[in-house]
Amino acid sequence: MINRLHYISPLNSQLKAIEMVLLAGGKWIQLRVKNQTEDEVLALAIEAVALCKKHGAKLIINDYPLVALKAGADGVHLGLDDMPIAEARTILGPEMIIGGTANTLVHIQLRVDEGADYIGLGPYRFTSTKKNLSPIIGLEGYVSLMKQAKDIGIKTPVIAIGGIETTDISALIAAGVYGIAISGALTTNPEHTPVIQNLVHFLLRNSEQSLNLT
């Protein structure tokens, strides 16, 4: 089952940040590494897998299907310019989780046709953690895209991603997304433990009520 709260690791002090989220109750971690060799990513991934297994959490590797396989990760997340999902599925087999990025309804349908287990739809707003950012979707964009996806019968879980703050989450869930991917709002928050716990409880309920995350 796809978790409703995805934590995207920061580009610095990744293992420390991942452990912080795991200790607070996070159960779905995406390891995102840039500007390192595949061997360096693999070494980091092996440590991250061990941490996640210790805490009963899943680890998804961003961009590197072979690293995910070698490290014993639970899956991989692929961008629109990365390896096609069908090719990754051949490498990883039927059991590993494969998520795919989308920015438009056409992309959402593409990911569904490719057999993605979940879709990372974004960015919600500008984020400095990613270069070559796709067009900003914004709340109105999510409302429109989720309605269109529902109208054509798409049931693949959609995860909102990209510059999301805790105060955005109620409205995004109300817009129809399945879950939320978040990074900086947790990494830089000194009160991350109660925030994560409140998020987990809220997303499990899949309620449209307002969050009290102060």
Torsion sign, CA atoms 200, 203, 204, 208: positive
- Give me the pLDDT at residue 192, please: 73
Domains and CATH numbers, the chain: 5-199 (3.20.20.70)
pLDDT tens-digit profile of 86-141?
999 999 999 999 999 999 999 999 999 999 999 999 999 977 665 666 899 999 99
Whether 214 shows a pLDDT value over 60: the answer reads no
Chain-wide mean pLDDT for the chain? Answer: 90
Tokens of 185: 């709002």
Long-range contacts at 182-191 (CB < 8 A, ≥ 24 apart): 182/5, 182/6, 182/7, 182/8, 183/7, 183/8, 183/9, 183/10, 183/127, 183/129, 184/10, 184/127, 184/129, 186/7, 186/21, 186/26, 187/10, 187/17, 187/20
Whether 211 shows a pLDDT value over 70: the answer reads no
Give the pTM: 0.91
Q: What percent of the chain has pLDDT over 90?
A: 75
